[in-house]
Amino acid sequence: MFDILVYLYETYYRPDACPEPEALARKLSAVGFDDVEISEALVWLTDLTAMAGMEQTLTAASTGTRFYVDEEQDVLGTAAIGFIQFLESAKVLSPLQREIVIERALALDEVPVSLAKLKVIVLMLLWSQGKEPDALMFDDLFGSDEDQAPRLLH
């Protein structure tokens, strides 16, 4: 599914440039993606788009500390939680966007969600809202984590 999401991000510069779901499914199938993965990706993306649209209408600000329940800690892991906190402190994610990222990660059937997949979730959220991270943040979101030391929050 994540290969499809990355393909959409790289192929369609804006979400409104994507064809309708039926036509998009045919295009993805023609490119060689599996029908089951296409279906999962389109459902996941539809849910993301619905949630991201709600975020645009809500302007509530949060200045509190986000505590993660055990299930969230299990699914996300410490690296992903640290990365989410980093993005929020860098003003890349608002508190509402953070919650969307967490919800979309919890919607996956994967424990724990890898940091690479979490980064794709963040990119897809920003993409679905028509926002683009600055160049340095884009490199951090699309870069490889294998050779990087863990991020330290100060």
Q: Is 6 contained in some domain?
A: yes
Q: Is 28 contained in some domain?
A: yes
Q: Is 123 contained in some domain?
A: yes
Q: Is 48 contained in some domain?
A: yes
- Amino acid present at 122: V
pLDDT (tens digit, 9 = 90+) per residue, 58-70? Answer: 555 566 788 899 9
Q: Is 152 contained in some domain?
A: no
pLDDT (tens digit, 9 = 90+) per residue, 29-72? Answer: 999 999 999 999 999 888 888 887 665 555 555 667 888 999 99
Q: Is 149 contained in some domain?
A: no
Q: Is 69 contained in some domain?
A: yes
Number of domains observed in the structure of the chain: 1
pLDDT (tens digit, 9 = 90+) per residue, 87-126? Answer: 998 888 889 899 999 999 999 888 889 998 999 899 889 8
| Exposure string over 46-79, b if 16+ CB within 10 A, otherwise e | eebbebbeebeeeeeeeeeeeebeeebeebbbeb
pTM: 0.76
Model confidence at 82, pLDDT cuts 50, 70, 90, reads very high
